[in-house]
Structure formats: structure tokens, C-alpha cells
Amino acid sequence: MYILAMSKAGGTIGMLLWIIVLFGFMYFFMARPQKQEQKRKEAMRADLAIGDTVLTTSGFYGTVIDINDDTVIIEFGNNKNCRIPAQKAAISAVEKPDDAVEESK
């Protein structure tokens, strides 16, 4: 009777250990990289400056012409008439003007 109770306790501890290992695995391979990517995007948006070329989450390329707190005004196209305000969170990629000059060399 005593041996049977000990084996059940050992099985429960073993199962609990596997659950802890599974959550640790999920944290290090799923949640942690996502947090690092979010920090990288926040840093990118914080370094945003007037004249930068940006790619929005909807797939449009434009040039930043004004920056407010959480809003940027982006100019699309060559005709200088299409200026649209957008949230900073809608910017998925930034290319600095000096980066474009270095790539062309």
C-alpha cells in the first residue's frame, strides 16, 4: 500500500517537472524572441527622423515629412500632393537617406 502511494507521488512530480520544462521551452523559443523583436521595432520608431524613407504595414513606401508624438505625416509618390498622416506603429521598416547612399556605392 505504501509503495503504491509513493509511485503515484513520483508520477505526479515527474508530470509536473515535464510541464515546467515545456513552459521553459516555450518561453525561450517563442516569447523571448518576440519581445526582442518588439524592442527592436520600438527603437527603430524612436530613431525616426524627417526625410527617412519608410515602409508602412500596408505595403506603401513614402517619405516622412513631419513627426508628432504618435503620428507621422508621410508623403507618397512623386507629385508631392499625397500626404497622409499615419501612426508610428504603422511603420514596419525605415531606411535612412545615408543608408541609401552607402548601398549605391
| pLDDT one digit per residue (tens) for the chain, 105 residues | 444 444 565 678 888 889 999 998 888 888 888 899 999 999 998 899 999 999 999 999 999 999 998 999 999 988 778 899 999 999 999 998 876 555 555
At residue 104, the pLDDT reads 57
Reduced to 3 states, what is the DSSP secondary structure of residue 83? Answer: strand
Cα–Cα distance measured from residue 103 to residue 85, given in angstroms and rounded to the nearest whole number: 29
Are residues 1 and 38 both part of a single domain?
yes
Are residues 82 and 35 both part of a single domain?
no
At residue 54, the pLDDT reads 94
Are residues 2 and 32 both part of a single domain?
yes
> Structurally, how many domains does the chain consist of?
2
At residue 56, the pLDDT reads 93
| Stated pTM of the model | 0.64
Cα–Cα distance measured from residue 4 to residue 9, given in angstroms and rounded to the nearest whole number: 9
Are residues 41 and 54 both part of a single domain?
no
Sheet strands (E) in the chain? 53-56, 61-67, 71-76, 82-87, 91-95
The conformation of residue 19, written as its DSSP 8-state character, comes to H
Are residues 56 and 93 both part of a single domain?
yes
User: In terms of residue numbers, what domain contains 55?
Assistant: 49-104
Are residues 18 and 55 both part of a single domain?
no
Q: What cell was used for 70?
A: 504618435
